[in-house]
Amino acid sequence: MTEEDFTLEEEEGSTVLRRSAVNRPPRTLSTWLIGRPLSTADAPHQAIGKAIGLAVFAADALSSVAYAPQETLVILAAAGTQAFGYAVPIAIAVSILLAIVTISYRQTVYAYPGGGGAYIVGRDNLGELAAQVAGAALLVDYILLAAVAMSSGVAQIVSAYPPLYPYRVEMAVSILFLIMLINLRGVRESGITFAIPNYFFLFMTFLMVGVGLVQYLTGTLGVVIDPPEMEVGVALQPVTFFLLLRAFSNGTTALTGVECISNGITAFKEPRSRNAAITMIWMSLILGTLFLGITILLKQIGAVPSEEETVISQLARTVYGGRGILYLGTMIGTTIILFLATNTAFADFPRLSAIQAGDGFLPRQLTYRGSRLVYSRGIVTLGVIAAILVIAFRASVTALVPLWAIGVFLSFTISQVGMARRWWKIGQLQPGQEVRERGSTLQYQSGWVVKMLINSFGAICTAVVTVIFAITKFRDGAWIVVILIPSMVAVFFMIHRHYKILAKNLSLKRDGIRSQITRHRVILPMSGVHEGTIAALHYARLLSSDVTAVYVSIDPVEAESLRQKWDIWGEGVRLVILDSPYRTLLEPFLEYIEEILVQRQPKEVITIVVPQFVPRRRWHNILHAQTATWLRLALLFKPGIVITDVPYLVE
């Protein structure tokens, strides 16, 4: 390295030398698994277009057609098959709600091109509490999305191949970690990987629905042959308004994922907002068409909700007259899209957690990008928690769904209320006036009243659904989320409080700097007098003239031998010998340090210099005491103590 390698930047009061690292990270096992490290300059090239964006961010919403109709029928089944006639009106109501939410979120996409969805909208317009509630709800949503989608995907495999039913949990966890690994390779690469399977699902599902509707209109659509046994209680329930509300709340799981695009706007190519908005419209039109079509056909064929065979499997084999190639293609496509829905969670969870961490409400480590320019820590965190849920709930979709949608609609509501307030604030501005907020810039717009009404209506609709879901699903497991979200918010604010206190303590703007040192005392623990000890002694004397060597004695003969050697090699440095009648080594030394701390002067720093043997072969470390490591662990929380190890290379 020469001076020519640096760029000189002269500023008032200081000289700065800057150079760029030219070495590339070495090839490791992680390089083989997730690809070569990418330079920060490659970030713009990792952006995606609308077609890939549909595969990355819309898989969550589109995959819901595989389980939302079934979960609606699960509730109606409590009143018998005659109640299945209510499925179509419920599907129409869900589709109307989908249109309302889509229009509302389209406005969010244009208003907040930096992404963040409900979290950013809540933060800028409703305050930190609302933002953290939205953040907690969305994080729970993404975790449950990964668990539900993976469980539902495995359910499709089990429907086609029933002998695999006992292994569904192992299959779900294995595939979950495979998708996690693919996402660690980067957004663009994972999007390209998943685009073809995504469009294969759309083709096969539209083909199944199209053929089924043609058969229905021509009177050739049959009914399910050998349907699975319907899983209901001993006594049938009457069709009540509460039962219909429960079925509607289950059907609204079709809307999960609508917000994902608004959270991931930054992943799109420029113009980001326009590309994201168009992708959202595509997604909603496809979702609404398939959801309605499938629900209508399920009613006509008499499909029965069951854990053993999904209603999609029943519909496919009825439409195609058996388990032929088209049936298998449909099941493969459906299984794939459910697995890809997990990819949506892996795309959005790390982004949202990084934003919250940047605001100081989650650990800062979540803001760091990995070697492939993705938030790898967030991806791994999501994968591990989702796997735990899959194992805990035995990969049961019906058991996981009640925990899910309440968080989704809570975030919907916060986002729409925040957007309504944003339009109201815009309406109070003068033409040409600008107000900069953390997530966007406010400018007067003439149509603010209409937009405010759209978001207000959306907020009312989603708030009603949130309440319905909380009430109807409370005993089925929604109570867990009702407790979990406030608990998460409390933890977020505890983390934020820690970071605020830390920032205050580290600030250079306060009066006086507490870190001024008036005295420096050095302690040199040693196990014997040898070259390593003398090297550490020379280093200690460079730090301070106040040096004390400490030896813990368990054998008087060895202690006397060491004292004699120290008289020769100790260079006049005082020696303290601590007798240890119980043959302990660390405890007497720590007791000695405690006594010094009691007598320590204000602003005095104590440095413990530890001779550290460094063998040429790493496994030889297990043959040494690792004193420096144990001292760090024991004295980590003691203020005013610095531990320094002086390495001494040995053969």
* 464's tokens: 């009603």
Split at pLDDT 50, 70, 90, the class of 112 is confident
Indicate whether 630 belongs to any domain. Answer: yes
pLDDT digits (tens, 9 = 90+) for 149-187: 788 788 878 877 888 888 888 998 998 888 888 777 765
Torsion sign (Cα): 225, 228, 234, 235 = negative
> What percentage of residues in the chain have a pLDDT greater than 70?
85
Indicate whether 474 belongs to any domain. Answer: yes
> 519 pairs with which residues across the strands?
604
177 and 236 share a domain? yes
pLDDT at position 4 is: 57
pLDDT digits (tens, 9 = 90+) for 523-533: 998 888 888 88
pLDDT digits (tens, 9 = 90+) for 627-643: 667 777 787 777 788 88
pLDDT at position 527 is: 83
Split at pLDDT 50, 70, 90, the class of 43 is very low
The 3 state secondary structure assigned to 187-222 is: HHHHHHHHHHHHHHHHHHHHHHHHHHHHHHHHCCCC
226 and 116 share a domain? yes
> What percentage of residues in the chain have a pLDDT greater than 90?
25
> Which residue in the block uniquely carries the two structure tokens 């994972």?
190
3 vs 211: which has the higher pLDDT: 211
487 and 582 share a domain? no
413 and 472 share a domain? yes
pLDDT of residue 25 exceeding 60, the answer is no
The 3 state secondary structure assigned to 229-285 is: CCCCCCCCCCCCHHHHHHHHHHHHHHHCCCCHHHHCHHHECCCHHHHHHHHHHHHHH
125 and 205 share a domain? yes
Select the highest-mean-pLDDT range: 28-37, 49-58, 66-75: 66-75
216 and 355 share a domain? yes
Boundary residue ending a domain (501, 535, 564)? 501
Split at pLDDT 50, 70, 90, the class of 305 is confident
Indicate whether 5 belongs to any domain. Answer: no
Split at pLDDT 50, 70, 90, the class of 138 is confident
CATH number at residue 627: 3.40.50.620
pLDDT at position 40 is: 47
Boundary residue ending a domain (469, 501, 533)? 501
Indicate whether 163 belongs to any domain. Answer: yes
pLDDT of residue 234 exceeding 50, the answer is no
**Residue 399, CB half-sphere, CA atoms under 13 Å: how many?**
11
Indicate whether 639 belongs to any domain. Answer: yes
Indicate whether 641 belongs to any domain. Answer: yes
For the ranges 67-76, 217-226, 397-406, the lowest mean pLDDT is seen at 397-406
246 and 184 share a domain? yes
pLDDT digits (tens, 9 = 90+) for 566-601: 999 999 999 999 988 877 778 888 888 888 888 888
Q: What is the mean pLDDT of residues 194-200?
A: 83
For the ranges 181-190, 196-205, 412-421, the lowest mean pLDDT is seen at 181-190
Q: Give all strands (DSSP E) within 328-474, no chain letters.
A: 434-436, 441-443
CATH number at residue 247: 1.20.1740.10
Measuring CA to CA, which residue among 291, 275, 289 is closest to residue 51?
275
pLDDT at position 621 is: 62
Indicate whether 13 belongs to any domain. Answer: no
516 vs 21: which has the higher pLDDT: 516
Domain residues for the domain of 547 are 519-650
pLDDT at position 408 is: 80
489 and 534 share a domain? no
Q: What is the mean pLDDT of residues 79-108?
A: 87
Q: What is the mean pLDDT of residues 390-412?
A: 79
440 vs 444: which has the higher pLDDT: 444
Average pLDDT over all residues of the chain: 82
**What Å distances lie between residue 407 and 441, 612, 614, CA to CA?**
28, 53, 53
pLDDT of residue 193 exceeding 60, the answer is yes
229 and 312 share a domain? yes
pLDDT of residue 18 exceeding 80, the answer is no
pLDDT of residue 1 exceeding 80, the answer is no
pLDDT at position 27 is: 58
Split at pLDDT 50, 70, 90, the class of 235 is low
pLDDT at position 41 is: 46
pLDDT at position 623 is: 62
pLDDT at position 423 is: 92
pLDDT at position 45 is: 46
242 vs 362: which has the higher pLDDT: 362
Q: What is the mean pLDDT of residues 433-447?
A: 85
474 and 580 share a domain? no
Answer for the pair 405, 140: CB distance below 8 angstroms, yes or no: no
156 and 81 share a domain? yes
For the ranges 23-37, 115-129, 145-159, 424-438, the lowest mean pLDDT is seen at 23-37
pLDDT digits (tens, 9 = 90+) for 368-391: 776 555 788 888 899 999 999 889
436 and 379 share a domain? yes
- Number of domain units in the chain: 2
Indicate whether 432 belongs to any domain. Answer: yes
Give CA–CA dist 546/524, Å, rounded.
11
Select the highest-mean-pLDDT range: 69-73, 217-221, 440-444: 217-221
